[in-house]
Structure 1
Amino acid sequence: MIELRDPVSSLSHLLTAIWAVFATALMYRLAPQPSRTVAMIYGMSMVLLYTASGLFHGLYYESTAQHRLFQKLDQSAIYLLIAGTNTPIMAILLPRRWRRWFLGGVWLMACLGIASLWALPKPPHTLVVGVYLAMGWIGIIPIRWYYQALGARAMNWAWLGAACYTFGAVCELSRWPVLIPGWIGPHEVLHFCDSAGSLAFFVFIVRHVLLRPGASPSGISGKYPVLPTHFISQNRLC
């Protein structure tokens, strides 16, 4: 039997990585042809993050340098997941004239964050988590377009995902709670919340972004991309 350094944190994310592989394959199958690229960017960012995190928390290290290497890979993948999650949402729901600016901004932040991890001395853990949290909530800036495109009920899935990620980060920063001493503490709760947040955003992106009528990064008009009222009133996508 394989012995894991941090079994709960490692297994929770390795299992999520396996789920993410199937979820990505499902998105590729369901997404309209023009949307498959952004769907794959999102899906692969999930697979990469949960694989990197599962390995980082599961492996034993022979040196501090080796530990730091895998930690950087894990932390870098978090930036990619944040940007990757925003990619299909922004590419499909935002008006064309704003799409490139928001997408460029979120990916620029991800690249700068990754570069800082590898080029600068190790930052405090609280700062790293805080930056992730702030970057994730930047996605709220264009929220009026999302509501106009989808309606309030569909957006509940996005809010649920954001709440899971935020609650996990708050637990990590506050070092609370300790549910089972020695087994399930704040960091394990963070991992559970990460997996739950990814599941909620997956439902949101597949059901309400990729499969909405006219979902295409190249097929959105320059005006607000709104659903016909009967789709919202009859809740066909919910």
Structure 2
Amino acid sequence: MTLLSTAQYLARSSRRARRAHLVPIAVGGVLAAGAIATVAYLLWPTWGTSPARGPGRIPVQVGGTLFNVPTAAIRRKVQRHSGPQERVDLAFTYPALEPPEKQKHVSADTVEEQPQPIDRIFVSLIAHRDSLAPDMRVRTIYPRYLEPASIQVGDGLAMRAFKEGTPYSGEDMFAGTAPALVARCTRDAATPGMCLSERRIEGADVIFRFPRSWLTQWRDVAAAMQRLTAQMYGKRS
């Protein structure tokens, strides 16, 4: 009996010793799991599927001229980088002059919906490589192809039509002052007429495109082009 009791006592002692050793291991495991879960929770937002947002504006050099342009306004992904470029194409809503929202995907259900009116002004920054300046073209080239008569279309804006059979046939030239505006516009046909207005800044030509229908408020359009130019090129201290 004594031997049996001793054996039972030793067995119970052995089990208690094993349990005593397992308790710290279990506690350590729980603490480690909690620490891992905490770190995973804190880091989880960086593992999301949302793309990282880039800088709001980036510096680009076009024709050696430095512009600071809104990244979201750049129309082509390949142009969304800083540094020298031959050309950068942008779009802004009008009259807010903000980068446009992303276009909705066109499906078979929406392709036949009524087209929305154009509410954007398009801007291209292009290295001119010493080509004829826009103001020189207005003074020396266009007059050869313009009709002699000038028509006042209202609010200080004058129009001259290009002659038929010339390289600019089917277009009209508009000019106004205060603020200054010179624009060459196609006429409304199957598609709405569009206007092109150019200006040179150092080594780049800045080309604006907008609907001809906006000329009813041409002073606002001219002021908007001046504001966009100042925002992208304004002298920085």
Q: Same fold (TM over 0.5)?
A: no
Return the index of the structure with the highest Cα Rg: 2
TM class by shorter chain equals under 0.3
Structure with higher helix content: 1
TM-score, L = length of structure 1: 0.22
